[in-house]
Amino acid sequence: MTAADRTPVTVLGLGAMGSALAEAFLAAGHPTTVWNRTPGRAAPLAAKGARHAPTVREAVAAAPLVVTCLTTFEDTRRALEPAAHDLAGRALVTLNSGSPAGARAMAAWAAGNGARFLAGAVKNVPSAVGAPDTLLYYSGDRTVFDAHAADLRVLGGDTVHLGDEADLAALYEMAVGAMLLPALTGFFQGAAALQARGLQARTMVRFAGKWLDMISALLPVYAAEIDSGDYTDAASTVDLFRAGAAHDAELTAETGVDTAWAAPLNDLLERAAAAGHGGHSVSALTEVLRGPRAAA
Ligand SMILES: NC(=O)c1ccc[n+]([C@@H]2O[C@H](COP(=O)([O-])OP(=O)(O)OC[C@H]3O[C@@H](n4cnc5c(N)ncnc54)[C@H](OP(=O)(O)O)[C@@H]3O)[C@@H](O)[C@H]2O)c1
């Protein structure tokens, strides 16, 4: 395939992630048009061969595939409004974070303007865009995904279509993304505890990495327990985690490190025990988290 055969692409939104997306398309030889609300952010991409469109209308008109990477779905709709009538027949792919409801609203707006729509999510940092194992998932119009799978794979080799319902990518994005802040906060708490002893955070990186590997290996086991609703074959019980929670106050007393962020997690353990799950696998926390509405 020559550069002349590559699909022309427009990228709207040139923040950290949008710029990385545009760079990946440029590096793969796609004729790439870019637009950003603050025009100065387009300069580095223009220097690498991108065409800088002065208006969103000109940007949308430049390519059959329009990829957006603004902060939210609402920002995206607001920015696209002047080009709404230019979207008919084009493939519109959003790559921002947002809720399933936000994705559904975006899909309805796109359909109302005749765009063929995919809502996607980049499950990695900007520097990983374009790598063979970088995960991006999409949901919505399967024909758009099939038509542009090779173009979209330029952004990351692990490219998945989750289904025709446009909100699925946002749902999985939130489901998987929920793990990030608790896991990182635990790492930051650990780093603070080490610093209180004059030790460097980097001394725990190898051990923390092995801990994450172990957690990763446990996920299919916990998923099977959750899917079956059988929590009785427990390797690690709710009560075991409750015993560990008692050490938070001791760590705070010894090091001054603030462990208060873990209080709601410890409360979750207490509520699970009160609901009769003390001797069950810790994955039974899902029963408490699911809440009455979804359980009905
Ligand atoms: N960075 C990451 O590590 C990462 C990882 C995965 C997913 N994401 C997701 O990718 C999306 C973009 O993230 P980012 O890191 O690129 O953010 P960013 O660097 O803050 O850039 C935000 C972009 O959105 C534009 N924007 C925001 N509101 C706008 C509006 N009302 N009208 C027009 N343009 C608007 C900004 O334009 P201006 O330049 O004019 O302000 C800028 O281009 C987010 O949904 C984020 O959650 C980011």
Every domain of the chain and the residues it spans: 3-175, 181-290
- Cα of 70 to ligand 1 centre, how many Å? 4
Check pLDDT > 50 for residue 295. no
Cβ of residue 15 lying under 6 Å from some atom of ligand 1 = yes
Check pLDDT > 60 for residue 99. yes
Q: Which of 74, 9, 69 is nearest to 41 (CA)?
A: 69
- Cα of 167 to ligand 1 centre, how many Å? 19
**Which residue do the tokens 């996920």 mark?**
219
pLDDT band at 293 (very low <50, low <70, confident <90, very high): low
- Cα of 51 to ligand 1 centre, how many Å? 20
Check pLDDT > 90 for residue 2. no
- The pLDDT, as a whole number, for residue 153 is 97
**Which residue do the tokens 């074959």 mark?**
233
**Which residue do the tokens 């729509």 mark?**
117
**pLDDT tens per residue across span 34-56:** 999 999 999 999 999 999 999 99
Check pLDDT > 90 for residue 292. no
- In the chain, % helix, strand, coil (3-state, to 5) comes to 60, 10, 30
Testing ligand 1's pocket by substitution, the residue of 14, 55, 70 carrying the most ligand atoms inside 8 A of its CB is: 70
Alpha carbon of 161 to those of 11, 52, 167: distances in Å? 20, 30, 12
pTM: 0.90
Q: What is 3-175's CATH topology?
A: Rossmann fold (3.40.50)
Q: How far is CA 17 from the centre of its chain?
A: 12
> Residues 278-286: what's their mean pLDDT?
98
Decide if 36 contacts 18 (C-beta within 8 A): yes
Check pLDDT > 90 for residue 294. no
Query: Domain 181-290 maps to which CATH number in 1.10.1040.10, 3.30.930.10, 3.40.50.2000, 1.20.1260.10?
Result: 1.10.1040.10
